[in-house]
Structure 1
Amino acid sequence: MIKHDLIEQVGGIERARGIVEGAPDNTATHVAVCKQNHYYRLDNGCEQTYWNGGFKDWMDSTIEESWEIFYNFKFAYVLDDLRTAIAEYDNPQLCIDCGSSDLHKGGEIKKPKMCFKCYAAMTGFTLIGDQLIEDDELAEIKTGHRIDKQLESDDCTDIRNHLSPSTRVVDL
């Protein structure tokens, strides 16, 4: 799943890169973002440690499960999610709206990447099966009759101009 909002939550792409690059090593699993970032390593119940920047070493932690990090810190993130978000930001391979990997190959879409279905919706179409149907036409299909738009070029108010020639008009 794509995590575009994660980049925004941490304060932008440069801040996200700084958090990931500031991790003491690749074994860190979580970070609590504060004035000084707190890095944690949680190993599925085996070893729970935090990085002590002063000692430059991993120390025993009282936090045993990831939910405790999220409970205790307002801005806590899973480092793998941040790494994924940065990779997707740098080289997006998924639709920015729905996360689909079936990207639209049209030359008119450069960035951001979108799948065919989302692009169709953005441009006023709906994808049904493998056919694109205009949203206006789809509304007519759903209502079961044609939805006539008022003709702007028709400024004639005389009803006789709108009747069949074989219709008799009688003035009362």
Structure 2
Amino acid sequence: AAMALHRLLNEGKLLVKAHGELVEPHPSARIVITMNPPTREYRDSEPMNSATRGRFRALEQPYIQDIEVELDTLDAQVNSGSRVVDRGTLRKIVQFAHQTRQNENWPTLSTRNLVIVCEHIEDGASPKAAVKNEVWAVAEPNQYPGDTYETLDDYL
């Protein structure tokens, strides 16, 4: 598959081996590829090979560093139609997520994970139970979600 992709990117043609046919994509056709960075969060995923990676522009999308900016982002996503989670609780959830990103032994909560936490809250879970559930859901095999619970108690 990589060779077919390389030919498409280099020559603008795709070889269909089964038919021996060269296909030229429509001029408006686009290819979008995502890859996970070589960081601790993705250590168990298969990296993209350098020959393929070298054919694309790379854009880093780090976690939101500013708690207020992430709080505003989460508030807009979660509470756009009606109030699902109050802003004070959202702030505590975001602050805890920032803590998870600073400890390499803990499961890391992304902004997307925080949206899922809020969906659990909307379904009736307590904020603490919702966060615990999501921490457990994103934990890698070498991480123990329970390690975060004492710190979570400081927030919720």
Give TM class, smaller chain.
under 0.3
The structure whose residues are more often helix, as a share, is 2
Whose strand fraction is larger, Structure 1's or Structure 2's?
1
State the structure with more CA Rg. 1
Taking structure 2 as the reference length, what is the TM-score of the superposition? 0.23
